[in-house]
Amino acid sequence: MTPENDNTYIAGAGLTVEQPIVHTIESNFMPYAMSVIVSRAIPEIDGFKPSHRKLLYTMYTMGLLNGSTIKSANIVGRTMQLNPHGDAAIYETMVRLSEGYQALLHPYVRSKGSFGKAYSRDMAYAASRYTEAKLAPIAAELFNDIDKDTVDFVDNYDATLKEPTLFPVTFPSVLVNANTGIAAGMASSICPFNLKEICETTIAYIYDDTINIADTLIAPDFPIGGYLLYNREEMEKIYRTGRGGFKVRAKYTYDKKANCIDITEIPPTTTIEAIIEKIVDLCKQKKITDINDVRDETGLKGLKITIDLKRGVDPDKLMQKLFKMTTLQDTFSCNFNILIAGSPRVMGVGEILDEWIAFRTECVKRRLYFALTKAKDKLHLLQGLEKILLDIDKAIKIVRETEEEAEVIPNLMIGFSIDEVQAEYVAEIKLRHLNREYILKRTQEIQKLMEEIADIEGTLKSSAKIKGVIVNELKQIIKKYGEDRKTQILYADDEPEVEIEQEVPDYPVTYFFTEQGYFKKITPQSLRMSGEHKLKDGDKITQTEASTSSKHLLFFSDKCQVYKSRGFEFDDTKTSVLGDYVPSKLQFDSGENAVYMAITEDYSGYMVFVFENGKIAKVDMKSYETKTNRKKLISAYSDKSPICQCLYIKEDCEILLTSTNGRRLLVNTGAIASKTTKNTQGVAVMTQRKGHKVMSAELFTDNMLSSPHRYRTRSLPAAGKLPVAEDEGEQMTL
């Protein structure tokens, strides 16, 4: 059978066609990305995404501005006529707009039932068949004059209904309620501002767009409250560019009687569960030791996290630690990305107000044009009615004597010199209204209509009058819905930067470090009751030091790096276990091994590095101290020659070097200048013949050599001396 006779044959089926990847992305991914940006994730100048707008408009058409609440499932079902993306997504949108969820400063949905909480991950909302909702009173400001041609309407997805492209909001709602969204390749994060402050700022900006917005718009305001750490310079940058960040801190009180801290307001970027989990984790790691218990006591009275303290703990000092180490203090990042005429733009507050004022001006103008058209149409009808006043009997006669109904309108038009619209209006007047009193009352409206039309036309011609209309509306908004700030201002400049020193239990311990990189921390009591150390085959203990559990531990590796830790970060153990494998515990790089352990408290003294080529580097221990809590430092010592030994000394002392040719040299570290550069190559100390190298270096003690002066020298470098018979048996190994 030929392809021409085969009905299932498809030309080109199975062929592979090469296509540039750029063309594939443009034709396949870009339409999706633009759809997400324009129709889903980025809000428009009225402050809403399409999903919000479709839901709220559906509730408006259902008459939910008045009356009682109805089942949420009914609202969700009706909304699917405009938003066919599934009932779950619609209901989640309604939850976030509800007052019960507490995510907005001024919720648009009044809720009844369990709608969850924005500040809790585990407090879920009930199913839509159990909850009820209606529009909140402030939602009336979203639909004010929406039926007076103030905004454009478009067909819904199946062209059976009309829906607005924007809401004619009477206040800058885009800056009043928080709005976040993640699109493809861009995102939006708009923080909420106090309604009263935003309206007052807008009024001032309408009259003078050169004002400093930060003078009237103090700072963002969040529904949960808390404290905002105010930095004027950073806030002005956000207002100017639309990008930046600021810190929000939890609010707490101390109950002296119960010896506990009650946290009642938290940052908007975190949840109760995240805070409690972090505090529990810090307690397990023994980074916080002042807490007996932490629990969630959130109830009908609102959010509450209770922290039970140990006796004698300073609550303010503890909270300063928790602010540093948990999300009880967190950063809110701003990205004021808004769709303007279908294109995303990142704008400062001034630009946003410019765009909103322009949008609102257009809404007001369209409303005035609508009212003007209605008034002119009515005036036109009344002017026709006025002419009948001259001779009512004539009008009745014309109607009575006209044989055909279709001729009534033309005859009235001829008889009174009026147009078809006026004649139609006159012809439709009821018989009971064909009296002088009714007609006089109607015609008295003519003067009022003419004055109204003149007033509207005057307003349309004057930008100042239109601004006055907007300002009056904003003043009414302040009067009706204005509330005091919920988030209190804490001036960051007035608060000193407190360096929180981590408090940990400090008790005596003995540290053990083995040749293969195993570490043990054992208390004196456990050490007295223990037997021999358990070690891997071929392993041995190279360092033993009695100290305390709070000391800083520096583990130097064979890859010229140092890993920092603290004694309390390792668990207490016994001699009967292998201990912690340091490269695994501190997450060394692959194939990297620990070669030396330094224990310090204040980073005093020096690190001495003895290289096989006979050079010694003396590095100030302060070079390894960092202000931040860095766990890893690269270039901890030089890699120009293989390392023979690392030694930590608190003050200058003598070191005994032994070469593979048998020679020994006593070197005083005081003769070597200290360096702050960690990877310094050092200075030549012990000269080596070809084929030989330094094989050991150890701190010298008086009983190590019978004639120590023999191995000392006045000048460096030196070759050292061969040992005498008395010292042959004293040679030690690493």
Which tokens is 107 given? 């919720």
> Of 47, 54, 342, which Cα lies nearest the Cα of 172?
47
Rounded to an integer, what distance in angstroms lies between the CA atom of residue 509 and that of residue 512?
10
Residue 531 burial by CB count (10 A; 0-12/13-18/19+): exposed, middle or buried?
A: exposed
The 3-state secondary structure of 101-151, one letter per residue: CCCCCCCCEEEECCCCCCCCCCCCCCCCCCCEEEECHHHHHCCCCCCCCCC
How many CA atoms lie less than 13 Å away from 499 in the CB half-sphere?
Answer: 4
Catalytic residue, chosen from 130, 157, 491, 507, is: 130
Nearest-angstrom CA–CA distance, 221 and 105: 8
Question: What is the token pair recorded at 704?
Answer: 């190590």
DSSP label at residue 721: B
- Non-local (6+) Cβ contacts of 632 within 8 A are 561, 562, 563, 564
Q: Which residues of 501-510 are buried (b: 16+ CB within 10 A; e: fewer)?
A: ebbbeeeebe
Residue 733: Cβ-neighbour burial (10 angstroms; 0-12, 13-18, 19+): exposed
Strand runs (DSSP E) across 271-381, as ranges? 291-296, 305-309, 329-335, 337-340, 343-346
Token duo for residue 509: 């311990």
108 is a catalytic site residue: no
Q: How far lies 91's CA from each of 55, 71, 98, 229, in Å? A: 9, 11, 11, 35
Pairwise CA distance, residues 678 & 699, whole Å: 21
C-alpha–C-alpha distance, residues 48 and 42, integer Å:
8
Adjacent-strand bridge partners of 408: none
**What is the C-alpha to C-alpha distance for residues 117 and 99, in angstroms, rounded to an integer?**
10
DSSP bridge pairs for 576: none
Q: How far apart are CA 253 and CA 265, in angstroms?
A: 10
Q: Measure the CA–CA gap between 568 and 24, rounded to whole angstroms.
A: 56
CA distance 441 to 34: 58
Q: How many whole angstroms separate alpha carbon 124 and alpha carbon 707?
A: 81
The residue among 613, 633, 615 whose CA lies nearest residue 624 is: 633
The residue among 477, 465, 471, 370 whose CA lies nearest residue 149 is: 370
Pairing of the two strands 227-230 and 488-491: parallel
Which tokens go with 325? 């180490």
Report, as residue numbers or ranges, the catalytic residues: 130
